Structure formats: C-alpha cells, structure tokens
Structure 1
C-alpha cells in the first residue's frame, strides 16, 4: 500500500535531475533516497527509475505512477488549502524564485515580513541570475521577474512599472564628459550585467521624433549581479544600464546622472509568475498582494 509520504517522495524524484539532487531537496542523504526507492520498488514489484549514468529518468511504470500521484496530491493539497481558507489561516510551504539583486534588496525583506506575520508559513527563497530558466528546476510557487518575458502560457501579475536607464557617476561625467548621441557611446567605458540569456551588449534605443536604433556596445567590464555593476558605476568606472528601481535613489541624490536622457530603452516591468502546477492557495495570493503593495512604482528623481 502506498501512503501520501510515498507519493510526495516519488513526485520529488520526478522533478530532480539526479538522486543526489532529490536528496538535497528532501533534506536527506543520497543513500537514504536510494534505499527508500528500492523498498518502494520491492513493495510494488516494479522498476520505477532507470538505473545508469546520466539524468534521472522514470520508467513507463514510474511515469504512470507519478502522474496519478500528482493528481491525488493536488486533491489532497487543495482540500487542505480549502480548510485553511475556511479557518482564515495562512500556512504551509511557499517557494519563491527571484533575481539576485532585486530578490536580495526587495523580495527577501518582504518575504521575511510576510513570514513573521504568519508563523505557520514555511518560506523558501531561491535567488538566480536566470529566474525564468530556474522555473524548470525544482519546486516553485511564485517567480519574480524583471524585464520582458518570452511568450509563456503562465499567469502573470504586473507588480510595478520599471524603466531601464543609462547612468554614470557624477565624477565620471565631470572627468570624462558624457556622450551627446548614441554614436559617441563607443568612446566611453561601458559595463554590462550578464544575469540571464539576453544579449547584454545590444541596446535597443528609441529617441526623439520616433527614431529607433540598435546600439551595439563593447563592454570593458561585466558581472552577473546588477548591484555589483551599480556599485562599480558609483565608483566612476563608466556607463551602465540599470533598472529604475536600482538607481532612483542615486539619481535623486546626484551620485549618478542620466546618460542620453532623450533616448529610452524598452521598459523592464516587474512581474510575478504563478506556477500553473501549484495549487492556488491563500498564502500565494496574499504574498503576491503584499508584493504589489510593497514594491509599487519607484520614487521619481
């Protein structure tokens, strides 16, 4: 006979790239995972996972069992959520994925406050340089993304508008001067952030009178963390492209100044994606509501 814990164990295996990764997700040792899997297979008299090198693969029987298990677990979780809603409780696991800079500065504090308000919540925050890519690797309920998205058939909630800006430090502007046209950018030191699969060296610009152009830049320095790039810009290293939420305070105080203010880059709105496989729960809806009210529009400069 299979129990709920067995079904959860099998579904965890099905989403992991290896038994070792499944062990990390489950918080146990790899030998413990192998032993439990062997016991399940002996009990069912079926092989559920292919043995051998390479990524973890389910057998046909294992895939069938996981599909049935997911349906059962969804019903069990839905029932538990319904009862929690009836009781007005916000509890259980909440898995959130966010980009490094925005996640560390904004999502992490809001998730901590949300968890403090609801002590029965069990939050997990995973920071990634490629949140959209991370959605295919492991459990998640809410994914925060900054920037334009591919065509995903996933529920999206816009949390806040967000412009992309070209900036440099006031010291750099005084020492070197600033370009007055896109063509003059090539004479300057450029820094880029490489935090996802986008081409960081291509800047699509829209200028006065509807002029549009794709500016190819040659970066002198780069990093996969946008906040490091912002810090380098503040040190006077050169011109960088950053989100409005990241540099609005620096622009207000004059530590950074805008470069080519008459030209604009495509907006990079902040959105929340909701996992279509996750049971829609009160904790997910309330957390997204807190994100909407907590992030808001960046202050003007």
Structure 2
C-alpha cells in the first residue's frame, strides 16, 4: 500500500492530467518531467485496478471509471484546500484554545489578573491555565506555552525572555526580631530557612561584591513543594525564604516582609515563555507571548537593596 502522501500526489497528478488534457501539459504545470507524470498515472491505475485514461499519440480522454474517479478527486482536493485555508485563517486570526502552564504563585499574582485583559484584545482565543510547581513535559502534556523562571531545560524547546527577575532572601519583621539578621550567606546555617520546589531546593547561591560565589545548603523545620505555602510561612514568621521579586515585591513594599543579605546578589532567573520548537508557531502563542512581554516589562519594578522602584525597568 502506497504511503498517503504518495497517494495524494498521484491523485493530484491525475486530476491535473484530466484538466490539462495531456500528459505533457500537466507535466509543465506541475513542474515535473513527462516520464514522472506518466509513471505516477500508471501507478495509480495499477493500484486501483482500473484504466482511468484512454491515451493515443494525439489525444487523451477519461474512461467512464476515470470520469467518476475524477469527480471524487476534485471534491477531495477541494476539501483539502478548504482545510488549508481554514488553518491559515486560524493562524492569522489568532483563535482557538491556548493551553498555558505556570507556577501557582506567578499564576495567582500575575497571570490571573492579566489574562482577562488579553482575552479582551483577542476574543477569538480561549485560555486554559494549569498551575503547578512541577515542571511539566510540554509536548506530552499538550501545552502550547509554559511560563517559567530560569534556564531553558531542553534544546527541543524555544525560550522567549519576557522580563527580568531578581530573587531575594526575605522574612517577616517578627522573624528578624526573634532570630536576628544574617550578615553573610554562611549565617543562614543558623537560621530557619524554608526550602520549596518539586523537589525542594536546599542549595542557595549568592554572589558577593567581589564576584565570588557562595553556595549554602540551608536547613529548617519547614519544607514544601508549593511556593505559595512557603510564602505564607514566611509571612507568618516561620522562616526565611528565597523568592522571586514577582512573588514577594508587594509584601516588601508594604513592610510585611523585609530583605536580608541585600549586599549579596542572588543569580537572576529571568522570566521566560517556553514553547515547543515547531516550524510554524501558532498565532495564538505569538500574540500571547508578545502581550505578556509588554505587560510584564511595564510592571517590573525592582531597584535592588530591598527597594521597589516606581519606574519600569528593562
């Protein structure tokens, strides 16, 4: 049995021969050699067990079976053309279901409020937002795009940087009143630190003013796979947490959390939109990524040293 793509090409050749009225005219229109057109037509007839065309040295005509088959082929190719046009229009029109995955904290504080505004701009799109701190396999899970912090996990994916992201060690004023403040990353070994993630990451890395890197393995009585829970524990004075400024910025600004070790830099983990590496990225993905980049860069406000900046930063 011939592969479907070969069968379709044979059918295309046959319909062009029937329309053009000769093998040579069909060959010119298709950009094929006369020998290839003749071979494909003969192969189609052999596969069907039917003579489709009566050929002489001067003329070509369809047999009765050929005429009937021709009508069906024209209908088939017309349906295929319509399907391609609809797909093209869908691509250009930015419509359909957009499946997005993100961490729970970022989805609740940033994506959740932004998505209704995105849909106002693109009413033909529907959004399904799945939240989890577990890194999902985009292809297996069928996601169109993931919003993640940090490095690109796989070369089979495309990462589009959306906005900067500083991370800070912070805790509630009540915690610092009781336990004091660490002056050096090594002091964290004597503090209750909240590790989180799936799996939780107990290794926190810092860079000093001299560029030297310090990695500390933190410990504490509280560990969770959920960033939101870790955030709440920090607000309640349960310990220190290493979090993205996207998550804790408003609490720092309001005084509910305070930054520790502000003279040390935590390596940045920029915010990315990640999507499968395909030849043609759907319009719904393109416009969503562009929208998020614009909105998040405009909203980004961090001056370092525990200060929130009023102006936007790049």
The match for 1:82 among 73, 83, 88 is 88
Do the aligned partners of residues 249 and 166 (structure 1) sit closer, same or farther apart at CA in structure 2, a change above 3 Å counting? same
Deviation at 1:240?
0.7
**Correspondences of 1:148-297 after superposition (within 5 Å):** 148-194=151-197, 196-197=198-199, 200-277=201-278, 279-296=280-297
Are the aligned partners of 2:169 and 2:259 in contact in 1 as well (CA < 8 Å)? yes
CA 1:76 to 1:201, structure 2 compared with 1: closer, same or farther past 3 Å?
Answer: farther
- Structure 1's consecutive aligned runs of 4 or more residues displaced over 6 angstroms after TM superposition are 75-78
Larger radius of gyration: 2
For the Cα contact (< 8 Å) 1:248–1:298, is it kept in 2? no
Q: Distance in 2 between matches of 1:76 and 1:169?
A: 61
Task: Please report how far the alpha carbon of residue 288 of structure 1 lies from its aligned counterpart in structure 2 after TM superposition.
Answer: 0.9
3-state SS of 1:208 partner: coil
Whole-Å Cα distance in 2 between the matches of residues 231 and 130 of structure 1? 19
Q: Is 1:110–1:290's contact at 8 Å kept on the other side of the alignment? A: no
CA pair 167-85 structure 1, distance change in 2 beyond 3 A: same
Q: How is 1:21-32 mapped onto 2 (pairs within 5 angstroms)?
A: none
The alignment partner of 2:258 has SS state of strand
TM-score computed with the length of structure 2 as normaliser: 0.64
TM-score (norm 1): 0.67
Q: Residue by residue, what CA displacement relative to the aligned partner does 1:226-257 show, whole Å, maximum 9, x if unpaired?
A: 12211211111111100011111222222211
Of 115, 118, 142, the residue aligned with 1:114 is 118
Q: CA deviation at 1:183?
A: 2.2
Q: 1:136-147 counterparts in 2 under 5 A?
A: 136-147=139-150
* Cα deviation code 1:61-117 (max 9, x no counterpart): xxxxxxxxxxxxxx987643422466xx33212111112211232223322332244
3-state DSSP class of the match of 2:141?
Answer: coil
In structure 1, C-alpha distance between the alignment counterparts of 2:281 and 2:157, rounded to whole Å: 13
Alpha-carbon distance in structure 1 between the residues aligned to 2:250 and 2:186: 28
SS in 1 for 2:97: strand
* 2:210 counterpart SS class: helix
Query: 1:164–1:243: 8 Å Cα contact kept in structure 2?
Result: yes
CA distance in 2, matches of 1:237, 1:184: 17
Counterpart-to-counterpart distance in 2, 1:205 and 1:77: 54
Contact 2:207 2:214 in 1 (8 A): yes
**Structure 1 residues 121, 243: CA separation in 2 closer, same or farther (over 3 Å shift)?**
same
Does the aligned pair in 2 maintain the 1:164–1:241 contact within 8 Å? yes
The alpha-carbon deviation at position 272 of structure 1 amounts to 0.4
* Corresponding position of 1:104: 108
Identify unmatched segments of 5+ residues in structure 1. 1-74
Distance in structure 1 (CA, Å) of the matches to 2:83 and 2:236: 51
C-alpha RMSD of matched pairs (Å): 2.3
- Report SS of the residue matched to 2:269: coil
CA–CA distance in 2 between the matches of 1:294 and 1:208? 32
